[in-house]
Amino acid sequence: MYTLEQIYDRLTSQGNATKMTTFTEPASGPGSTLHTLDDIYDLAWPARVPKTGQTKCYTNTANSEVNCPAAGWPGQDGDHQKGVAWPNPRFTANVDNNGDGDCTDPGETCDGTVTDNLTGLIWLKDANCIMTQYPGFDADGKVTWQQALQFVAGIDAGTYPNCGAGQTDWRLPNVRELQSLIHHGVYGPAVPNTAGTGKWVEGDPFTGVQLDFYWSSTSAFISSQAGLVNLNFGIGFSDTKESDYYVWPVRGGE
């Protein structure tokens, strides 16, 4: 059997702990775990909406940070901070699991990818791989929606392997997957660092994050447009599919 403490630790690890495949029967009853069954339940079946990362409160003028709770401006996100807590570290930069260099084993994640420990999604480490690896496709990495879809399909087909990190199940993220990267407590960009406690900087853990819009695979209600997320300020938007924006492949998830 496992103790409540072991179960609690396993749930809070967000899938990063060593799997529990064997156990030893205890010689005596467990002591206090300091965790209630409600604690375990809340971790096992939480409201799956994560925190935004915002911890401050503001008025309606620029650079107007005020203490939370803000008199006259009650009930802000930074005051309530509701949602599933982010793990620390938020991201894990993956390495070749067994050192064979081919990244083809089932479930293997390799160099050049980053796992989001909050969502389980695996992102390409290079957030502008078109420009970095295939400038002939587009010199600055900004492409139409159709080109974005075709490029990611080309990664999986082996046409653009330098942007695949040895994997062939990449996709253009849907708008909610893309929005899940946003840290609403920072901007320029509104993307968290490896720990999830501050703003992304080059290499921590991603490279090439652009302060601009990125395509999602989600069409808007006006079907000539598709969903976008601005990684500079963290806002969602939509625009005509003929416009040019950046591409960030993702894999995994539900």
Per-residue pLDDT reduced to its tens digit, 111-153: 799 999 999 999 999 999 999 999 999 999 999 999 999 999 9
Count the neighbouring beta carbons within 10 Å of the beta carbon of residue 203. 12
CATH of 91-252, one of 3.40.50, 1.10.3470, 1.20.1740, 3.10.100: 3.10.100
Cβ atoms of 225 and 238 within 8 Å: the answer is yes
String of b and e for 142-166 (b: at least 16 CB within 10 Å)? bbbbebbbbbbebbbeeebeebbbb
Q: At what angle do helices 4-12 and 37-44 cross, to 10 degrees?
A: 30
Mean pLDDT across the chain: 87
Show me where the domains of the chain are located. Answer: 1-45, 50-56+67-85, 91-252
**DSSP labels for 108-160?**
---TTEEEETTT-EEEESBTTHHHHH-TTT-SSS-B-HHHHHHHHHHHHHTSS
pLDDT of residue 141: 97
**DSSP assignment, residue 178?**
H
The three-state secondary structure class of 40 is helix
Q: 86-105: per-residue pLDDT in tens?
A: 999 999 998 766 666 555 55
